[in-house]
Structure 1
């Protein structure tokens, strides 16, 4: 393990055989986890693991870092992005404006990672909205959401500043949703993804345990990644 401190520059840290590059763009923290030399393979498709600690501050949200380290050991290049509020002077007039700015920030961070391949995007909680805003306008090879909100409507006015319409992108790529049993009940009732037969629904008690990681590995194998 190593500590990460926010700064305005770029720094490289080494822990064992893993290298991470950290950069802050606006208020997000960006990190790249490269496969170690002893990894069994090197997968060209990057995996992007998104979190939003500002909005999910009341919950434990270290899943992206946990899975990034484990997936890197398997040969995946993992890009970890933790979103915060837009920077100074970038006030958002609506929830749609907020999504547009944060999804553009994700686009810039992916460009900085240097990978030419469309990613598979993982996102938890509020970051699920940012990921869906991104894939509505940009290519991706897959989308894996962990404990997403049951609907955008459910976040106004407690979290979102204005009502946000539900996403209507076409499911032209594999999509999975993983949640604990109580969350899955709500997703099946209120979520478009929870009711779509094309979406893989993965119900599991421990979202941070080995079983969850194995289900992610299985899903990636089914994608051929």
Structure 2
């Protein structure tokens, strides 16, 4: 890494402020208690640039979930290590294009399962009594932490949730119970658990299943070579059924330059334009 590249993350907030962007951030430290399964450990808000051609009222929430990993099983289904990288470049560019962007890190840690958890499939979702889907305790806790952070930020409109890799699981759990204007899943994991038995035991969390209806703007971004798998997924098959026509249902794109590439970001921006955001 060059000296200039190493300095770039440190200089970026200063450069953004010079160009008229407002940036404010926070860091939270998780509790040492074993019951603290998931917590928001970092958030970074960039207001839309005042010099942007237009200001978009719908904010973007760019999600990461440190600690939630598919392990070695993820590599075999096209979930690359790059999906765990930060959203700095995307957040900066979307802000200059007129979007308020919020980077949120929800750190996830496995907790010892009680006998009741084991009997109920490790579920810890209080909404299950109302007929809502039941999620593993780690996914449910991360979903709640994300919802709490979005509420604390007083976002006026339901956001577009952007996630990649394992964080797509938390994003889908969130939209199963909370309002969102749209959903972008970059390199989404498959419907079935791709992990080996050993990897699953090491991770300590069960794989969720989703039943939400893909009848709102959803963009699936597949890595090269994974287009067929993404298209054949439960959500991806809705695009083949014509639900995605007009930008109001499921659409599928290919990440031509990786899950954090600028060309991929531009495809996401074009999709948002087609949806009227």
Shift of 1:162: 4.1
* Greater CA drift, 90-99 or 206-215: 90-99
The change in CA–CA distance for 1:128 and 1:150 in structure 2 (over 3 A counts) is same
1:163-178 to structure 2, matched below 5 A, reads 163-178=206-221
Q: Assess if the C-alpha contact under 8 Å between 1:156 and 1:163 holds in 2.
A: no
Shift of 1:183: 2.3
Q: Assess if the C-alpha contact under 8 Å between 2:59 and 2:101 holds in 1.
A: yes
Q: Assess if the C-alpha contact under 8 Å between 1:83 and 1:127 holds in 2.
A: no
Where in structure 2 are there 5+ consecutive unaligned residues? Answer: 1-7, 29-38, 72-79, 114-121, 123-134, 244-249
- Number of residues paired by the alignment? 214
Match of 2:221, SS state, is strand
Larger Cα-atom Rg: 2
Q: Does 1:38 find its partner at 2:19?
A: no
1:21-60 to structure 2, matched below 5 A, reads 21-25=24-28, 26=39, 28-55=41-68, 59-60=81-82
Q: Which residue pairs with 2:23 in the alignment?
A: 20
Match of 2:87, SS state, is helix
The C-alpha deviation readout for 1:55-102, integer Å capped at 9, x for no partner, is 35971233622211100001100011122125xxx9363361111110
* Greater CA drift, 144-153 or 48-57: 48-57
Which structure dedicates a bigger proportion of its chain to helix?
Answer: 2
Q: Does 1:204 find its partner at 2:255?
A: yes
The change in CA–CA distance for 1:211 and 1:181 in structure 2 (over 3 A counts) is same
RMSD: 2.6
Shift of 1:156: 6.1
Q: TM-score, normalised by structure 1?
A: 0.83
Shift of 1:203: 1.6
Q: Which residue pairs with 1:131 in the alignment?
A: 171
Q: Assess if the C-alpha contact under 8 Å between 1:30 and 1:82 holds in 2.
A: yes
Where in structure 1 are there 5+ consecutive unaligned residues? Answer: 5-11
Q: Assess if the C-alpha contact under 8 Å between 1:32 and 1:113 holds in 2.
A: no
Shift of 1:23: 1.9
Q: 1:73 aligns with which of 96, 100, 116?
A: 96
Match of 2:136, SS state, is helix
Distance 2:95 2:187 in 1: 23
Higher relative contact order (CA 8 A, sep 6+): 2
The C-alpha deviation readout for 1:159-188, integer Å capped at 9, x for no partner, is 552433420011231111001222223323
The change in CA–CA distance for 1:164 and 1:209 in structure 2 (over 3 A counts) is closer
Q: Which residue pairs with 1:192 in the alignment?
A: 234
Q: Assess if the C-alpha contact under 8 Å between 1:92 and 1:98 holds in 2.
A: no
The C-alpha deviation readout for 1:84-132, integer Å capped at 9, x for no partner, is 125xxx9363361111110111111111222121011110011100000
Which structure dedicates a bigger proportion of its chain to strand?
Answer: 1
